[in-house]
Structure 1
Amino acid sequence: MTTQRTARLTALLALPVALALSGAAAAPATAEDKAYQINLEQLNDSQGKGTAMLSLNGNQLTVKIESEGLVPGQPHAQHIHGSTDGHDFQCPDASADTDGDGIINNTEATVHYGDINISLTTDGDTGPDSGLAVDRMPKADAQGKLSYERTIPVSQDVVDHIKDLHVVQHGIDPNGNNKYDFGAGKSELDPKLPQEATAPAVCGVVEGAAVGSIPVGGVETGGATAESNEVPWALAGAGGLAFAAIAGALVLNRRRRATASVERSGRSAA
């Protein structure tokens, strides 16, 4: 009778775990978002800086940018530059100013960070043709801070080469009057625009380090001694639940055997 009761208890304890395990097995696997952090660093002594986050969910790219030190109250053209065919582009340094005028213009910088792949507009088209769509680019606030977020459908080439792409924000103020003017001349991209409006202000390279990844190595959970009845509950997940249930059943079984042995000894002594 004691053996039958122990078997029933063991089965009852194992049932919820079996159900949990079967449920976990039946649940469809979902691909986690791939996320990348980009540190935006100044170009052209703009005093700008910031952080961009790129996250992929299938072919949906979510771009979040928080930057500061930009020209207050002015629109800032911003793009994802780079290559989807294996070319290695980087953000330029001061040596990119090949004409020696003291400003790295967009044409000089493109040699280093590549052509526009995606225009980070606030609405509408996001293709390269919208690269100078100033009316659809975000504006910095009165303190020169800019916040941006948008989810954009992208090609499989972008998904496959996301680590080869870079974020660039444009718009500088070398004469410090808090506006774009023609003090530095006309833009080489569009003579109707001042150079200040199209010259790059900050640039950041996708390094490829996933954000929020699980640290390398397991979590140290500790454990019970051979004589202990405690279960290390730090073992999480279905595997941990299974271990806990099995350990609990073994403990009860051990106790039942000990009780039965005492009862038999008592009857023998009588």
Structure 2
Amino acid sequence: MVETKLRLDHATVIVNQGQPGEKTILDDVSLTLMPEDFVTVLGSNGAGKSTLFNVIAGSLPLTSGSLFLGEHDVTHLNEAQRTKFLARVFQDPKLGTAPRMTVVENMLLAERRGLRRRLKNRGLTEAKRAEYAKVTATMGNGLSDRLDMAAGDLSGGQRQALSFLMATQLRPEVLLLDEHTAALDPKTSTQLMQVSDRRIHEEKLTALMITHHLEDAIEYGNRLIIMSEGKISLDVSGEEKKKLTVTDLLNYFNRY
């Protein structure tokens, strides 16, 4: 029997509980991810996508329900504690990097994700530098030529590529891609999406990706879910997902 990677059981989030403005923003959601699942997540604004990610990341507590990593109950771990097994790339390239630190310094920092960080002895050896040059070269956007440049001076695409590399550097148990290509121009977005897909498969990562690009939701991943009013309204995988078209998804959204 294959052990599950991540499991949400009856996850519910209610804001302003007991007050006139009480609202359920995640409504009894149960979701199971198997190892190496790559799930694309669709939904209109306010559907619950970001709430789902915030719950998994630990930045938003559950009102009720549970979260398991494998067989371990991680419901009550805080956001910092979850960085030991989880990484997230946000839509804004500025959120994933330290702007005044160089590319190599950011990558060294990422290697200590979930550990106590030290300011002394950053540990940059020639071998480590060569390793970083090799991995940044896989992004195909000139990042490998800017290892000593401050992250804040990179282009948006390069900075987001660095954020993605930092998130996947230690092969997290769960990777959350939170519209990570949305702020980029079409060419850069396509390039980063292709690199992301390749790295997810090569590293055998388990990932969820929020996107508003219907074509990307169909093309990438082995599974697709649609959220509506805090619930998962559609969950397809395998051959059923492969048969989906953009028209199918548009028709589905028009019904809700």
Instruction: Sort the TM-score into its range (normalised by shorter chain).
Output: under 0.3
TM-score of the superposed pair, with normalisation by structure 1 = 0.21
